[in-house]
Amino acid sequence: MADVNDLVQYVRGVGPKREELLERLGVRTIRDLLYFFPRKYHDRANLVPIEQIEADTRAMVFGDVVKVNLFRRGRGRGILTVHVRDHTGAMKAVWYNQNYLAQQFDAGDTVLLWGPVRFYKGYELVNPNFEHVGVEEHGGVALSDEQSRLVPVYSLTEGLSQGQLRPMIRAALDQYGDAVPELLPEPVRRRYDLPGIREALEHAHFPESAEDKDRAKRRLIYEEFLVFQLAIALRRRAVRSAPGIAFKTSGEFDRRARDLFPFTLTESQEEAIAAIQSDMRSPRPMNRLLQGDVGCGKTVVALYAMLMAVANKFQAAIMAPTEILAEQHYRTMTRMLDGSRVRVGLLSRSSERREVLDQVRRGDLDIVIGTHAVIQSDVTFHRLGFVVIDEQHKFGVMQRAHLRWKGRSPDVLVMTATPIPRTLALTVFGDLDVSTIRELPPGRRPVQTRHIEPERIDRAYQFIREQVASGRQAYVVCPLVEQSELVDLRSATATATELDDRVFPEFTVGLLHGRMPRDQKERVMAAFLAGDIQVLVSTIVIEVGIDVPNAAVMLVRHAERFGLAQLHQLRGRIGRGPHQATCLLVGTAKSDDARRRIEVMCETADGFRIAEEDLRIRGTGQLFGTRQHGLPDVSIGDLQEDFDLLEQARDDAAALARADPRLERPEHAPLRDRMLDLYRDRLSLIGIG
Ligand code: ADP
Ligand code: MG
């Protein structure tokens, strides 16, 4: 009968107009409405009748606006005074230099104000927070109703007030509360002492106490995480039980492969290779993530694995995020494989593309290198056995290989230079095994990083001059200034000209940017690598993958405009050789976040710390905002704050998937339905639903 998948129009008090407003909030069905949780709660315990207000406390006042006065002192400056009254008395609220707020108050408005109180001729709230409330709403739900101390506050859209939304949710709960399917099996609820769904929804919206609210939230967060983790667990099982390739390895192969590397592998590299070998020997497809800071030596590990595939008469492919990086991989690999019989090809957008494609199809190439886009489109492999996806730091746009070879899944290795924060490890990357390279190759000295104010840039130039005079090379990086690539390009070009003509007339200054034709880019890179260019001005194209050990200085202009992860990636371009390297961040921080980013860069070179600071500064919201990132749309939980629940849900989901891999048991039916509703697209692989 009552079905929570019905449209909200069936809820009492929801007409076509409100239906439209709700839609703007992402609420279409009755379930959406019931799961539309408050953004926060007002605690009525803080509400003070005006006659009882005291100076030097913080207070919340609920009253009507009597009068609004704005005393202007010119250009946005001034004093705004709003007189308010409740049934016990009157007082003022005062804001300084926020004249624009004046428009938001009219006599007769009912408002909630909260902030510090002082006494100056009379009681005043100073720069308080405020919220407009309809009379009926706060009055109706909160002021007269003694039992509900916490009043829910929802995110709104224009045309919809708290006072209209609250009764709709009340009605939805009354009409449909009993029709919401219980997703959590009884034993799970008992184990964690979680309330049933009806009670949880009631208390999430209209809690009687903070404890009720917290218990309800915990249950709803756990539910949300469990459904998501279940999707991952099932996918993981399915991927792992698909037919794969069981590669063979031998001492002979191992020796020959190692002979190709001009150095001894680090312990971390050895561990990663051992894990990969054991994955590759197994007849199940490998899905492994290899994480490690820039320059830690992931490429060699990938090369070893690809060679193992080639030794087994399979082809291997490596997908890079940019053309420049693909070319870099191509150069590195051709160099290392020089003298072996392994045939390597670069699949670019160039004219030889057709020919390379033919070679790939015929099996005349063993290792194929290209960008994500290039390899995913129209490539037919003769016998593809191994795929490397080099994501660098762009884990946000994680792509999985859709490459198949005669129905068999090739082994997949994903490489990332950004250490995966633990939240992501359990979500986006939840179906991968993880190897981590924690050490840098021996002999590396950490890059020294300094912040320089723009007016002292001459000192930075002087430093570069000395370094170049002693044989080093330098990068000068210009930021993305405008949205338009052309404008950015002009700024980089102008910088290059200025440096060449005026600052370093004695050196050769080169320019590299994303818009240059490939052969020109290659020429510039080759000249820089050969040392013919001493100072290379570039846009952010060098962010990934360029390896010039003699480059020991990097100057970043407008460093305040770069994100933390980006700065870290950029800095990874230097410090690759035996010389002490220096990174000069030139810029003026205009916000606290920008200042913090520069500080963090000067303090540490540890990629794991930087990744965590980055998350802290940006907040999960920004990083995880959208579906395309592969993250769940968590509506109530917070992946970082509720990490313990996320872990719990992961373990429980794994156990459930083991016990009932197709979720066929009747007690699991609601869970299964919900999971398919939310994640059907991502579960296409697993053949349920
Ligand atoms: P990543 O891909 O992790 O950023 P690379 O594989 O490009 O790092 O390696 C960075 C540099 O370190 C390269 O010049 C590479 O040849 C070198 N390198 C890698 N492993 C070692 C090692 N074990 N000893 C010395 N140098 C190494
Ligand atoms: Mg690399």
Residue nearest to atom 11 of ligand 1 (CA): 295
Contacts of 367 (CB under 8 A, 6+ apart): 306, 310, 315, 316, 317, 318, 333, 337, 342, 343, 344, 345
| Residues 408 and 496 occupy one common structural domain | no
Q: Is the CB of 545 under 6 A from ligand 1?
A: no
Mean pLDDT of 183-209: 93
- E strands present in 247-343: 287-292, 315-320
Domain end, chosen from 586, 604, 622, is at 604
Q: How far is the CA of 679 from the centre of ligand 1 (A)?
A: 39
pLDDT digits 0-9 by tens, 120-171: 989 999 999 887 775 544 433 444 344 456 778 888 887 787 778 888 999 9
Q: How far is the CA of 296 from the centre of ligand 1 (A)?
A: 6
Determine the length of the chain: 689
Three-state SS at 115 = strand
> Are the C-beta atoms of residues 579 and 553 closer than 8 Å to each other?
no
The count of domains in the chain is 3
Q: Is the CB of 557 under 6 A from ligand 1?
A: no
pTM of the model as a whole = 0.64
Closest C-alpha to 479, from 551, 570, 553: 570
Let me know if residue 110 belongs to a domain. Answer: yes
What is the gyration radius of the CA atoms in the chain, in angstroms?
A: 31
Give whole-number Cα distances, 589 to 592, 617, 623, in Å: 7, 14, 22
Mean pLDDT of 166-184: 94
| Residues 509 and 399 occupy one common structural domain | no
Q: Is the CB of 265 under 6 A from ligand 1?
A: yes
The rounded distance, in Å, linking the Cα atoms of 122 and 173 is 45
Let me know if residue 347 belongs to a domain. Answer: yes
Q: Is the CB of 300 under 6 A from ligand 1?
A: yes
What ligand 1 atom has the least distance to the C-alpha of 296? 3
The rounded distance, in Å, linking the Cα atoms of 170 and 148 is 13
Residue nearest to atom 18 of ligand 1 (CA): 297
Q: How far is the CA of 294 from the centre of ligand 1 (A)?
A: 9
List the shell of residues around ion ligand 2, using CB closer than 5 Å: 299
Q: Is the CB of 573 under 6 A from ligand 1?
A: no
Q: Is the CB of 299 under 6 A from ligand 1?
A: yes
| Residues 410 and 506 occupy one common structural domain | no
Q: Is the CB of 302 under 6 A from ligand 1?
A: no
Burial class (CB in 10 A: 0-12, 13-18, 19+), 157: middle
Q: Is the CB of 298 under 6 A from ligand 1?
A: yes
Written as one letter, the residue type at 249 is: T
**How many helices and strands in the chain, by DSSP H and E?**
22, 21
Q: Is the CB of 416 under 6 A from ligand 1?
A: no
Q: Is the CB of 295 under 6 A from ligand 1?
A: yes
Q: How far is the CA of 128 from the centre of ligand 2 (A)?
A: 52
* DSSP at 488: H
DSSP 107-152: TT-EEEEEEEEEEESEEEEES-EEEE--HHHIIIIIIS-TT--EEE
Determine the residue of 300, 322, 325, 393 to mutate for testing ligand 1's pocket, defined as the one with the most ligand atoms within 8 A of the Cβ atom: 300
Q: How far is the CA of 268 from the centre of ligand 1 (A)?
A: 12
Say what the pLDDT of residue 484 is.
61
**pLDDT over 90 for what percent of the chain?**
48
Quote the domain boundaries for residue 359.
251-281+297-416
> Are the C-beta atoms of residues 315 and 360 closer than 8 Å to each other?
yes
Q: Is the CB of 426 under 6 A from ligand 1?
A: no
| Residues 393 and 456 occupy one common structural domain | no
pLDDT score of 28 more than 90: yes
| Residues 457 and 410 occupy one common structural domain | no
CA atoms within 13 A on the CB side of 611: 20
Say what the pLDDT of residue 155 is.
83
| Residues 526 and 397 occupy one common structural domain | no
Q: Which carries the bigger pLDDT value, residue 564 or residue 682?
A: 564
b or e along 509-544 (b: 16 or more beta carbons within 10 Å of the residue's beta carbon)?
A: bbbbbbebeeeebeebbeebbeeebbbbbbbbbbbb
Q: What are phi and psi of 28, to 5 degrees?
A: -115, -45
| Residues 258 and 392 occupy one common structural domain | yes
> Are the C-beta atoms of residues 84 and 90 closer than 8 Å to each other?
yes
Q: Which carries the bigger pLDDT value, residue 643 or residue 499?
A: 499
| Residues 452 and 394 occupy one common structural domain | no
pLDDT score of 628 more than 90: no
The rounded distance, in Å, linking the Cα atoms of 609 and 595 is 17
| Residues 394 and 468 occupy one common structural domain | no
- E strands present in 456-600: 473-477, 509-512, 535-538, 551-556, 582-586
The rounded distance, in Å, linking the Cα atoms of 435 and 678 is 30
Q: Is the CB of 291 under 6 A from ligand 1?
A: no
Q: How far is the CA of 262 from the centre of ligand 1 (A)?
A: 10
Strand partners, 119: 123
pLDDT score of 322 more than 60: yes
The rounded distance, in Å, linking the Cα atoms of 228 and 222 is 10
Let me know if residue 272 belongs to a domain. Answer: yes
Q: Is the CB of 529 under 6 A from ligand 1?
A: no
| Residues 400 and 535 occupy one common structural domain | no
Q: Are strands 315-320 and 344-347 parallel, antiparallel or unpaired?
A: unpaired
Mean pLDDT rounded to a whole number for the chain: 84
pLDDT band at 672 (very low <50, low <70, confident <90, very high): very high
Determine the residue of 260, 263, 390 to mutate for testing ligand 1's pocket, defined as the one with the most ligand atoms within 8 A of the Cβ atom: 263
> Are the C-beta atoms of residues 290 and 268 closer than 8 Å to each other?
no
Domain end, chosen from 604, 625, 653, is at 604
Q: Which carries the bigger pLDDT value, residue 619 or residue 561?
A: 561
Let me know if residue 483 belongs to a domain. Answer: yes
Give the torsion sign (CA, 563, 568, 571, 573): negative
The rounded distance, in Å, linking the Cα atoms of 383 and 316 is 9
Q: How far is the CA of 417 from the centre of ligand 2 (A)?
A: 8
Mean pLDDT of 494-498: 90
Written as one letter, the residue type at 397 is: V
Q: Are strands 78-85 and 90-96 parallel, antiparallel or unpaired?
A: antiparallel
The rounded distance, in Å, linking the Cα atoms of 388 and 412 is 6
Domain end, chosen from 86, 121, 153, is at 153
Look at the block and give the residue holding tokens 């919206």.
Answer: 205
CATH code where residue 453 lies: 3.40.50.300
Contacts of 349 (CB under 8 A, 6+ apart): 323, 374, 518
Residue nearest to atom 23 of ligand 1 (CA): 265
Q: Which two tokens stand for residue 594?
A: 């920008």
